[in-house]
Amino acid sequence: MNKYQLPSDSKLLQSDFVFGVATSSYQIEGGVAEGGRTPSIWDTFCKTPNKVDNGDNGDVACDHYHLWQQDIEMIQGLGVDAYRLSIAWPRIMPQDGVVNPEGLAFYEEIIDECHARGMKVYVTLYHWDLPQYLEDKGGWLNRETSYKFAEYARAVSAHFGNKIDVYTTLNEPFVSAFLGYRWGNHAPGIKGEREGFLASHHLMLAHGLAMPILRSNAPHSKHGVVFNASPAYPATSKDQGAADYSEAENYHWFMDPVLKGEYPQLVVERQLVNMPMILEGDLDIISAPVDYVGINYYSRDVMRYNENGDIEKVIQEGAEHTFIGWEVYPQGLTDLLVRLNERYDNIPPIYITENGAACDDHSVVNGQLNDEQRVRYFQSHLNAVDQAIKAGVRVDGYFAWSLMDNFEWAFGYCQRFGMVHVDYQTQQRTLKQSAITYRNTLLARAEENK
Ligand code: IFM
């Protein structure tokens, strides 16, 4: 396929719809001991035996710390409007209370380069790389960490102000809280029901505490937060309750406090013994208005009650899955967006801040890699966004995850989400067919909109 096909009346073809690509600091940068950076919880986790597949770590990753100039040039070559990246907290504040000018300078060069090349920058402050010195004091189980995050947000926004076009406080607080502190399969590897819910409240509090600081230091930028969300479907007509609960815990729990100023009753009732300490005023802080909501969508969940009455996921045998084992279900993206629009009165504009597929595309042959499953994935999910917009949802942008293959957390480097192939031996970048198709789509759109 030469370019992604969209109906001629699609809002996605208009020039004010933002197309971008996304990455995050620990997944691509490397340079973990350079520029004054100190360890994050992911450096520690990767060095703990049996936590990450193949013993992989982010020490070098895509070596973006050194190759960022060529990477930004490559991003511009894709014809995107914006680049979504994240800042590594331990580069900016390598020690408690200390701001590192070298860390700020690293990101400033990237931001300036993007602007010089006509791209906007969407910057996430927290994409999971908590400074280890804060974890040593309890990490997200310690309420104080929320205030440390506000200090960090102050340092970044005082320096960059409106230069960052769009600020994101947190990426996927569900993953930080539940994979990190409840189930233990992400850093810092803590397992405990109460811990998961406590960490989630402190993360949301951190978001809320940062919002007024960001607004005051960057009054012309946009400010918001990014959630991962999978719509849930009942396996049988008896399982609607299981699907409803799954959505409540997986994303209403994180979105409701921001957009409704309360936690969902379904979760509060079922998890009564695990409820965190919520101080008076916390929900007012967390529900400060946001300018947009970011949604990361990959797949759906089909849920049922098992014989013990517990809720469990049902694998859809026979359906198409990606290499990482996630079902390909584009209708879920339309359904999700419509459900969000119905659940939240006056929901702010939505950006799809991540969407993509991990495919088994390890080898480049004669400079080419035909990642046809990813091409189909992007095509069907762009259609799904178009359908949601036609159903009345306001979606203002779409960011492909990811620009290039990178460190996929507990899966290490064996899962490749990139539109660009990375040879980790040589750091050679090669555009896969999905990237070429994205580029052709965006260049054709620009031509049409001239
Ligand atoms: O790679 C991650 C990213 O860091 C956050 N969202 C999901 C992606 C794929 O797992």
State the Cα–Cα distance between residues 236 and 304, nearest whole angstrom. Answer: 7
Q: Is the CB of 129 under 6 A from ligand 1?
A: no
Q: 294: which strand partners?
A: 226, 351
Of 135, 172, 247, 249, the active-site residue reads 172
Q: Is 322 in the pocket of ligand 1 (CB under 6 A)?
A: no
* Nearest ligand 1 atom, CA 27: 4
**Residue with the two structure tokens 């260049």:** 443
253 annotated to bind ligand: no
The pLDDT value recorded for residue 362 is 77
Q: In this structure, are residues 287 and 261 in contact, taking their beta carbons and an 8 Å threshold?
A: yes
CB 373 near ligand 1, within 6 Å: no
Question: pTM of the predicted model, to two decimals?
Answer: 0.99
401 ligand 1 Cβ < 6 A: yes
Query: To test ligand 1's pocket by mutation, which of 324, 354, 377 has the most ligand atoms within 8 angstroms of CB?
Result: 354
207: phi then psi, degrees, rounded to nearest 5? -55, -50
CA 26 to ligand 1 center in whole angstroms: 11
DSSP, collapsed to helix, strand or coil, labels residue 130 as coil
Is 409 annotated in some ligand binding site? yes
**Rounded Cα distance, 265 and 252, in Å:** 10
Q: Check the annotation: does 298 bind a ligand.
A: yes
Report yes or no: 33 and 91 within 8 Å, Cβ to Cβ.
no
C-beta separation of 332 from 352 below 8 A: no
Distance (Å) of CA 67 to CA 42, 62, 400, 428, 435 = 22, 8, 21, 10, 19
CA 173 – ligand 1 centroid, Å: 12
Our answer to whether residue 354 is catalytic in this structure is: yes
The residues spanned by each domain of the chain are: 11-448
Q: Ligand 1, closest atom to CA 171?
A: 5
Question: For residue 407, which of 62, 129, 68 has the smallest C-alpha distance?
Answer: 62
The answer to whether the CB of 195 is under 6 A from ligand 1 is no
Cα dihedral 432/435/439/440 (nearest 10): 60
24 lines ligand 1 (CB under 6 A): yes
Is 317 marked as a binding-site residue?
no
CATH of domain 11-448: 3.20.20.80
Is 183 labelled as part of a ligand binding site? no
- Residue found under tokens 């290039």: 404
CA 127 to centroid of ligand 1, rounded, Å: 9
**Contact 172 CB / ligand 1 (< 6 Å):** yes
Contacts 24+ apart (CB under 8 A), 258-267: 258/204, 258/207, 258/208, 258/225, 258/286, 258/287, 258/290, 258/293, 259/287, 259/290, 259/293, 259/344, 259/347, 260/287, 260/344, 261/286, 261/287
Which residues is 430 bridged to in the sheet?
421
The per-residue pLDDT for 1 is: 67
Q: Is 193 a residue of the active site?
A: no
- 381 has binding-site annotation: no
Distance 204 CA to ligand 1 centre (A): 19
Residue 124 in contact with ligand 1 by CB distance below 6 A: no
**Tokens (6 digits) for 167:** 């600020």
User: Ligand 1 pocket: which of 225, 355, 409, 416 to mutate (most atoms <8 Å of CB)?
Assistant: 409
Find out whether the beta carbon of 408 lies less than 6 Å from any atom of ligand 1.
Answer: yes
End-to-end CA distance of the chain: 24
Sequential DSSP letters for 31-88: -TTSTT---BHHHHHHTSTTSSGGG--SSSTT-HHHHHHHHHHHHHHTT-SEEEEE--
Please tell me the distance between residue 408's alpha carbon and the centre of ligand 1 in angstroms: 7
Spans of the chain, pLDDT less than 50: none
Distance 9 CA to ligand 1 centre (A): 31
